[in-house]
Amino acid sequence: MVFGVGMRVVLALVWAALGAVGAFAGEDSAADTHSTVRLISEQSSIRPGQKFWLGVEITPRENWHSYWKNPGDSGIAPFLFWEAPDGTQLADPLFAVPEPLPAGPLTNYGYKGPTVLLIEGRAPATGGPSLPLKLDMEWLVCEVECIPQDASLSLDIPYGDGAKDPSYRETFSAARAQLPELGYWEADLNIIGPAAQLIVYMSQREAEDVSDAYFFPEQDGVTLYSSEQRFMVTPAGLVIDMERFDGDEVPENGLGVLSVAFTGGTTQSFEVDANITATASLPSVTSGASGLPALQNPPSFPLWQAALFALVGGILLNLMPCVFPVLSLKAFSIVSASGRSAGALRLEGWAYTFGILVSFAAVVATLFALRAGGAVVGWGFQLQEPIFVGVMVALMLLIGLSLSGLFNISFGAESAGQSLTSAGGTKGAFFTGVLATLVATPCTAPLMAPAIGFALTQSALVSVVVFLALGLGLAMPFLILSHLPSAAAALPRPGPWMERFKQFLAFPMYLTAAWLLSVYVSLTDSQAQMILLFSLTGLVFAIWLWTGTARASVKGLSAAVSALCLYVLLGAPGLLGGSSTANTASEEIPFERATLDQMVAEDAPVFAYFTADWCITCKANEKVALHRAEIQALFQSANIRVVKGDWTNRNDDIAQLLSDYGRAGVPLYLLFPGGGAKAVVLPQILTPGIVREYVESTL
Amino acid sequence: MTLHKILTAFIAYICLTASGPVNGKVAPDFTLPSSTGAMVSLKAFRGTPVILEWSNHDCPFVRKHYGAGNMQRLQRQLTEAGAVWLTIISSAPGQQGHVDAEEAERLTHERGAYPSHVLLDPDGTVGTAYRARTTPHMYLIDENGVLLYQGAIDDKPSARRESLDGATNYVLAAWDAYQSGEAIDPAQTKPYGCTVKYAQ
């Protein structure tokens, strides 16, 4: 299959032996059935220990093609096997930028015309009069059919002054022009199940002229080669979305070539070495409608999986500090239920479940109603309503006092009291479920953010299914208990310890009430707080009156007092003209979308944080990290401007930004390095060390 | 926040599902006519391990393995060890490697091949379902229908016969690991050979 090699080698040897510098034929060529190859040396002589360059030119027949180093779905990259004297270094070949070559449903990467592989070499420090190089190569050419080719080539390059051979100058400069340019941008390659996303952090100025872009990955498993790639220009840079096969193994690296067409008509290609992350969670950036870097929609997963996740989350809710006391009461009712029939217990279990589900349905319905009305809301939206918070303070306080034993609101099968939850049997169980949901909402936001974030971005059906599964999970432990008398029997025996334990459980309720009170103050003002405290006192007084007497007149007085107090409590925020603005530290810039967009585009870095007074995590982070003097000093020394978004009251801009980052609630911490670069998202739990680490690694 | 991490890992786990040829998952089922005119279903072989081989008799890479007797040896060895070997031809009519039943039979006899069945997939449905890209492209499926290996037949992507010397046969390695209950490594390799000649 190899023609003329022998003669060429002989000629080369003869010339080399003659030492006729300049007469060295710096090439050897061969032809196989469907292509020819040529091995060329850029220099007519090389110097010992010095660098030199070789080229291997592959010229397939017309309409046939050869392959890039990653040939795509099929095909094979050229294989070079060198024989050279000891001490000779020959690097892996550099490939020209390929083009996608579709073949039916498959796509290959390769070259339709001639292409030159460039090989950098280094001669041994000492040697004979010349450097003999022998190359055995195999390569594949295809039109539709594929024909493997092979050849043996050799060059014997004389040692000398290292002068370049003018006859190959054009070939080498043309070959170098075909190579991808060195990439100088950072890049991320996110592998997310059936999708992959390449983010090249070029500046917006560079990116905005891009009219087309394509990524040639070096590794399998990045993309389905035949699928279309979609590119977007974002302030963070260029983003390419690719489809991939979810079953493929995750690639080892993010190497590849990025080809970019600019509006001026030029095309340039760049080497890319992207940091690879394989994740099933949120990818980092795509375009935000508003111009800020934003997150892609959370990955979609099948409905039953979302529901299952919500169910597990619901079960975990039972352990929340403000839910547990309420549920303990329910547990007491089961413990003390030994006298009742199994059927009645089961009915109660279902009534309790039903109560929870109805409450969750009400929450979903409210969310939908608000969204339909155009309001942007997230989980915890109830806590932006002062009246709701005021009522919750009262509720927590009353439950606490009842647990303490000030008055006897009893639960389940115990003797009658005044609360609906005490109504005994099924009705009582139903309202215990409602109560559980009600007290659960403030505590659940941080834990449930992923599921709720998912649910809120989905269709109505998905939202409803997820929320109901969440409710079912919350109800699950008692539902199971009510159906398993043997399990109930395993619970501790009722006894005096229950009274003591109940009293202990009052304290989490008082703490919750205290925290809600501080939320209430931040939503309103100190006057409203005073009115709330007066009406709470009145309410407790009314209940005390009621429970201490059997006389109708006193009961009437009690009812009147409590009605008045409730009226004042509900009316207080309205009477005082609604909410006040939250206070912001002097060096912090209050969040506005337009301002932030502008600041992010400037050179200096920006730290943006989103908080709310009712968000305990946020407050804790501010206390232990953000507001510490050392962190403030760090911000100052790094010239970081701080933007604070306060979500204590509802704010559509903040809600929009949160959803851009795939969040349904606060906290959210963003560090923008400046110059329009994308934000680094900090964890939801901060320490001074974490903040410092992020600042130092980002800037 | 540990709880949060557990929940995140949980989502990640349930998201990792895909349809298609995924190692560790049940391989896509199919029913194809064989060269003897029978209809052959993958599902019918539950209880028996199955090898799938994509083929195109005119492809030089296929010719390397058949010409040197390498493919026949592997077929014989594995079928005698209890495997079902299905050779599948996905070349579209008019394309290289497309054969009718009679021609397929003739090729099997002429080459002394030992497939359990040669299956004809001229519209490429099964090839597409398995993402078969080259000839040869090999798959090993266990007795429960679970895919264990997919990719190249060996580690020498060459059409030269000499390349068979010292080559590591991935299918045989996967088979041995499967028989001895060890983990299969590699379980996925980049297949090499001619492009499967699907309809253009």
Over the stretch A249-266, which tens digit does the pLDDT of each residue have? 888 899 999 999 988 888
Which residue type does B57 have?
Answer: H
Backbone angles phi, psi at A224, to 5 degrees: -80, 115
CA distance A91 to chain B (A): 21
% of chain A beyond a pLDDT of 90: 20
What mean pLDDT comes out for the span A520-541?
82
Asked, for residue B12, whether it belongs to a domain, the answer is no
CA distance A82 to chain B (A): 16
Structure confidence at residue A375 (pLDDT): 44
Structure confidence at residue A14 (pLDDT): 44
Whether pLDDT at A679 is above 80: yes
Q: Is B39 near chain A, with CB under 8 Å?
A: no
| Residue B146 pLDDT grade (very low, low, confident, very high; cuts 50, 70, 90) | very high
Whether pLDDT at A13 is above 80: no
What is the per-residue pLDDT across A566-576, written as a single tens digit (0 to 9) for each? 777 777 655 54
Contact B96 A145 (CB under 8 A): yes
List the 99-158 stretch of B: residues with Cβ below 8 A of A.
124, 128, 131, 133-134, 157-158
Structure confidence at residue A452 (pLDDT): 59
Structure confidence at residue A279 (pLDDT): 61
With CA atoms as reference, the chain A residue closest to B64 would be A148
Highest mean pLDDT among A315-324, A589-598, A644-653: A589-598
Q: Which two tokens stand for residue A311?
A: 């169910």
Contact A103 B200 (CB under 8 A): yes
More confident residue, A527 or A539: A539
Q: What is the dihedral of CA A434, A436, A438, A442, to 10 degrees?
A: -160
Contact A302 B60 (CB under 8 A): no
Lowest mean pLDDT among A140-144, A202-206, A399-403, A575-579: A575-579
Structure confidence at residue A616 (pLDDT): 64
Angle between helices A425-456 and A386-404 (to 10 degrees): 140
Q: Distance of CA B177 to CAs A51, A145, B79, B142, Å?
A: 47, 35, 16, 12
Q: Is B67 near chain A, with CB under 8 Å?
A: no
Asked, for residue B1, whether it belongs to a domain, the answer is no
d(CA A225, CA A244): 8
What is the per-residue pLDDT across B175-184, written as a single tens digit (0 to 9) for each? 999 999 999 9
Average pLDDT over chain A reads: 77
Structure confidence at residue A364 (pLDDT): 75
Q: Is B8 near chain A, with CB under 8 Å?
A: yes
DSSP, res A661: T
Whether pLDDT at A2 is above 80: no
Query: 3-state class of A429 per DSSP?
Result: helix
Residues of A in contact with B28 (CB under 8 A): none
With CA atoms as reference, the chain A residue closest to B157 would be A76
Which residue type does A159 have?
Answer: Y
Lowest mean pLDDT among A375-389, A674-688, B71-85: A375-389
Lowest mean pLDDT among A106-120, A208-222, A271-285: A271-285
How many CB atoms sit inside 10 A of residue A588's CB?
18
Give the CA angle between residues A326, A327, A330 to the nearest 5°: 100
What is the per-residue pLDDT across A56-72, written as a single tens digit (0 to 9) for each? 999 999 999 999 999 99
Residue B95's domain comprises 21-195
Q: Name B51's Cβ contacts closer than 8 Å, sequence gap at least 6.
A: B78, B83, B84, B85, B86, B138, B139, B140, B141, B171, B175
Asked, for residue B178, whether it belongs to a domain, the answer is yes
With CA atoms as reference, the chain A residue closest to B8 would be A281
Whether pLDDT at A363 is above 60: yes
Asked, for residue B11, whether it belongs to a domain, the answer is no
What is the per-residue pLDDT across A602-628, written as a single tens digit (0 to 9) for each? 888 899 998 877 666 677 778 778 887
Structure confidence at residue A465 (pLDDT): 81
DSSP, res A300: P
Whether pLDDT at A179 is above 90: yes
Contact A104 B134 (CB under 8 A): no
With CA atoms as reference, the chain A residue closest to B188 would be A249
Residues of B in contact with A74 (CB under 8 A): 133-134, 191-196
* pTM of the predicted structure, to 2 decimals: 0.52
Under 8 Å between Cβ of B156 and B58: no
* ipTM value > 0.90: no
What mean pLDDT comes out for the span A527-535?
84
Whether pLDDT at A420 is above 60: no
Top residue of B128, B139, B164, B194 to mutate, by most chain A CBs within 10 Å, is B194
Residues of B in contact with A106 (CB under 8 A): 133, 195-196, 198
Under 8 Å CB pairs connecting chains A and B tally to: 122
Whether pLDDT at A458 is above 90: no
Lowest mean pLDDT among A281-295, A571-585, B122-136: A281-295
Under 8 Å between Cβ of A676 and A236: yes
Residues of B in contact with A76 (CB under 8 A): 157-158, 192
d(CA A400, CA A350): 26
| Residue A367 pLDDT grade (very low, low, confident, very high; cuts 50, 70, 90) | low
Cross-chain CB nearest to A280 (options B1, B15, B96): B15
Lowest mean pLDDT among A206-210, A280-284, A343-347, B151-155: A280-284
d(CA A416, CA A59): 95
Under 8 Å between Cβ of A398 and A543: yes
Contact B158 A74 (CB under 8 A): no
What mean pLDDT comes out for the span A118-139?
90
Domains, in order of start, for chain A: 5-178 (2.60.40.1250), 187-278 (2.60.40), 303-389+407-505 (no CATH), 588-698 (3.40.30.10)
Q: Give the number of domains in chain B.
A: 1
Lowest mean pLDDT among A226-235, A315-324, B100-109, B127-136: A315-324
With CA atoms as reference, the chain B residue closest to A280 would be B12
Whether pLDDT at A291 is above 60: no
Backbone angles phi, psi at B40, to 5 degrees: -115, 125
H helix and E strand count, chain A: 18, 23
Structure confidence at residue A147 (pLDDT): 87
Q: Name A419's Cβ contacts closer than 8 Å, sequence gap at least 6.
A: A402, A409, A431
**Residue B151 sits in a domain of what CATH number?**
3.40.30.10
Whether pLDDT at A292 is above 50: no
Q: What is the dihedral of CA A511, A515, A518, A519, to 10 degrees?
A: -150
Structure confidence at residue A383 (pLDDT): 60
Q: Is B4 near chain A, with CB under 8 Å?
A: yes
Residues of B in contact with A105 (CB under 8 A): 124, 128, 198
Whether pLDDT at B186 is above 50: yes
Q: Is B33 near chain A, with CB under 8 Å?
A: no
CA distance A502 to chain B (A): 27
Q: Is B160 near chain A, with CB under 8 Å?
A: yes
Contact B59 A146 (CB under 8 A): yes
What mean pLDDT comes out for the span A384-402?
78
Asked, for residue B96, whether it belongs to a domain, the answer is yes
| Residue A581 pLDDT grade (very low, low, confident, very high; cuts 50, 70, 90) | very low
More confident residue, A299 or A338: A338
Q: For chain B, first and last CA: distance in Å?
A: 53
Nearest to A75 by CA among A52, A56, A58, A92: A58
CA distance A312 to chain B (A): 9
Contact A301 B11 (CB under 8 A): yes
Q: Distance of CA A81 to CAs A663, B46, B156, Å?
A: 54, 45, 13
Contact A447 B4 (CB under 8 A): yes
More confident residue, B91 or A676: B91
What is the per-residue pLDDT across B14-51, written as a single tens digit (0 to 9) for each? 333 335 688 888 899 999 999 999 999 999 999 999 99
What is the per-residue pLDDT across B114-124, written as a single tens digit (0 to 9) for each? 999 999 999 99
Residues of B in contact with A455 (CB under 8 A): none
Lowest mean pLDDT among A134-143, A452-461, B91-100: A452-461
Whether pLDDT at A457 is above 60: no
